[in-house]
Amino acid sequence: MCVGMEHFTIATVAEKSPDFRRVLWTGEHTQLVIMTIPPGGEIGEEVHEGIDQILTFVSGTGEARVAGEKREVVQGDLVVVPAGTKHNFVNTGPNPLVLYTVYGPPEHADQAVHRTKEEADAAEAAGEDEPPTS
């Protein structure tokens, strides 16, 4: 675990990442992850038991589907997904949907990089994307 200041120009870092999911930082109680969802792609419907998630959209257009509600998301929007809430985020535009998200507590393996949704799903299914335990 890193001790000291971590500093990111987050929109720039997120925009430069072609990866579906990249863990930037993992702490004891939270985790910072950037995501790039290709046109026509989605995160995939999921529920995080015991984990809150806050997503901030950097570029692109999409649709937030949270707890049965749908809403358009664009650059600058922030969506909160409380623990135990069914959610999905879908890219509805012609360009990548770029975002960063904070999980509390961590959801993914420290420093995990998944280039595609398929790679991310395979890592999760194989038990290779588990968050660090204390």
* 73 located within any domain: yes
Domains identified in the chain, total number: 1
Q: What is the CA radius of gyration of the chain?
A: 14
Percent of the chain, pLDDT > 90?
93
Looking at residue 16, what DSSP letter applies? H
Residues in contact with 85: Cβ distance below 8 Å, sequence separation at least 6, in sequence order: 47, 66, 67
- Residue 104 belongs to domain spanning: 30-124
Phi/psi region, residue 9 (left: phi>0; alpha: psi -120 to 50; beta: rest), is beta
Q: Report yes or no: 61 and 48 within 8 Å, Cβ to Cβ.
A: no
Q: What pLDDT, on the 0 to 100 scale, is given for residue 132?
A: 86
CATH code, domain carrying 110? 2.60.120.10
| pLDDT one-digit tens code per residue, 75-107 | 999 999 999 999 999 999 999 999 999 999 999
Residues 62, 90 contacting (CB under 8 angstroms): yes
Q: Is residue 45 part of a domain?
A: yes
